[in-house]
Chain A
Amino acid sequence: MRWFWFDRFTEFEPGRRAVAVKCVTLAEEHLHDHWAEFPVMPPSLMIEGMAQTAGILVGEARQFREKVILAKIKRAELRQLVRPGSRLRYEADVESLSDGAASTRGRVFCDDAHIGDVDLVFSHVDNNISGLEFPQENFVFTDEFMGLLRSFRPGQPQGVAL
């Protein structure tokens, strides 16, 4: 299984906003463990989906110069069970962005119903964790991750050139 918790971007405004969708399907193995008799999408993985959506938005805002990691979940409220066959939509907006960190506001929709809010803080590890050595390569924004952004085809002028 690959660690992708959304399927594609449907909107991407650099430095401001990203919208991504995920289709929940019974082909995903984790649903059979959560739970066998009554499969539902784990809320923790919906938070991860929002973190991936917002994290790429934050990384792109500074041309992926820094490694962006999820530092803090400011708020996570998910008010509805999400069953296989549902379509999740993650809407992330940049609230603040600085040299060392960023905060985002996020809204989660299930089949167009607003079911939750996930607000996050990201840290730019290159700027905030001094004294620790990290690999030269960007282990956060791997080629696989970047492919999600490259495959975004908005047909609109704000498309992202990589």
Chain B
Amino acid sequence: MTRDEILAKVRATLVEALSVDEEEVTEDAFLRKDLGAESIDFLDIVFRLEKTFGIKIAQDELIPRDIVQNPQFVAAGRLNEDGLAALNRAMPHADLSAFSSNPRIDDLPDVFTVGTIVSFVQSKLGK
């Protein structure tokens, strides 16, 4: 499946999950800031992606809670250097450069764009 084909299916998935217009779902649109996704919506999106693409997504795969809730990696609500390194390894599909400058755990969902989801699915389908 090409990236454009994945993008088309991801867009349709997000239109349904977030009740947004198709024109809003551009590849660089942020799920939380631009499309209004809440934390519960991420659960819904994962289920819909599994069904749409016939893939299995483990609970910590999209947002690695095993890292962001690990006291070894977190202090005062922020990831430390080791935590950031672990997060970069766990989320190769995401651009964490802006997040890394002030790695507040609560801001992690802000890194997800439509393109991030496409890259994530692409990597899953390639495995």
> Which residues of chain A have a CB within 8 Å of any CB of chain B?
71-72, 74, 95-96, 98-101, 103, 121, 123, 127-128, 130
Per the bound structure, the CA–CA distance linking A101 and B46 in Å amounts to 10
Per the bound structure, the CA–CA distance linking A121 and B17 in Å amounts to 11
Which of B25-33, B37-45, B95-103 is found at the contact surface with chain A?
Answer: B37-45
Contact B41 A103 (CB under 8 A): no
Q: Which residues of B contact A123 (CB under 8 A)?
A: 40, 43
Contact A72 B41 (CB under 8 A): yes
User: Looking at the complex, which one of B17, B59, B69 makes contact with A100 (CB distance below 8 Å)?
Assistant: B59
Per the bound structure, the CA–CA distance linking A127 and B65 in Å amounts to 10
Number of chain B residues close to chain A: CB under 8 A: 14
Asked whether B51 is an interface residue with its Cβ less than 8 Å from the other chain, the reply is yes
Contact A121 B59 (CB under 8 A): no
CB distance from A32 to the nearest CB of B (A): 34
Number of A-B pairs, beta carbon distance below 8 Å: 36
> Which residues of chain B have a CB within 8 Å of any CB of chain A?
17, 39-41, 43-44, 46-47, 50-51, 58-59, 65, 69
Contact B40 A98 (CB under 8 A): no
For B65, give the chain A residue with the smallest CB separation.
A130
CB distance from A148 to the nearest CB of B (A): 26
For A130, give the chain B residue with the smallest CB separation.
B69
Contact A71 B69 (CB under 8 A): no
Per the bound structure, the CA–CA distance linking A74 and B51 in Å amounts to 15
Which DSSP category, helix, strand, loop or mixed, fits chain B's interface?
helix
User: Looking at the complex, which one of A95, A127, A130 makes contact with B47 (CB distance below 8 Å)?
Assistant: A95
Q: Which residues of B contact A98 (CB under 8 A)?
A: 46-47, 58-59
For A100, give the chain B residue with the smallest CB separation.
B59
Contact B50 A96 (CB under 8 A): yes
Q: Which residues of A contact B41 (CB under 8 A)?
A: 72
CB distance from A43 to the nearest CB of B (A): 18
For A102, give the chain B residue with the smallest CB separation.
B47
CB distance from A89 to the nearest CB of B (A): 25
Q: Which residues of A contact B40 (CB under 8 A)?
A: 71-72, 121, 123
Answer whether A96 and B59 are a contact pair too, CB < 8 Å, given A121-B43, A121-B44. no
Q: Which residues of A contact B51 (CB under 8 A)?
A: 95-96
CB distance from B72 to the nearest CB of A (A): 15
Q: Which residues of A contact B58 (CB under 8 A)?
A: 98
Beyond contacts A71-B43, A74-B17, A121-B43: 15 other A-B pairs, Cβ-Cβ < 8 A, are: A72-B43, A74-B44, A95-B47, A95-B51, A96-B50, A98-B46, A98-B58, A98-B59, A100-B59, A103-B44, A121-B44, A127-B59, A128-B39, A128-B43, A130-B69
Per the bound structure, the CA–CA distance linking A127 and B39 in Å amounts to 13
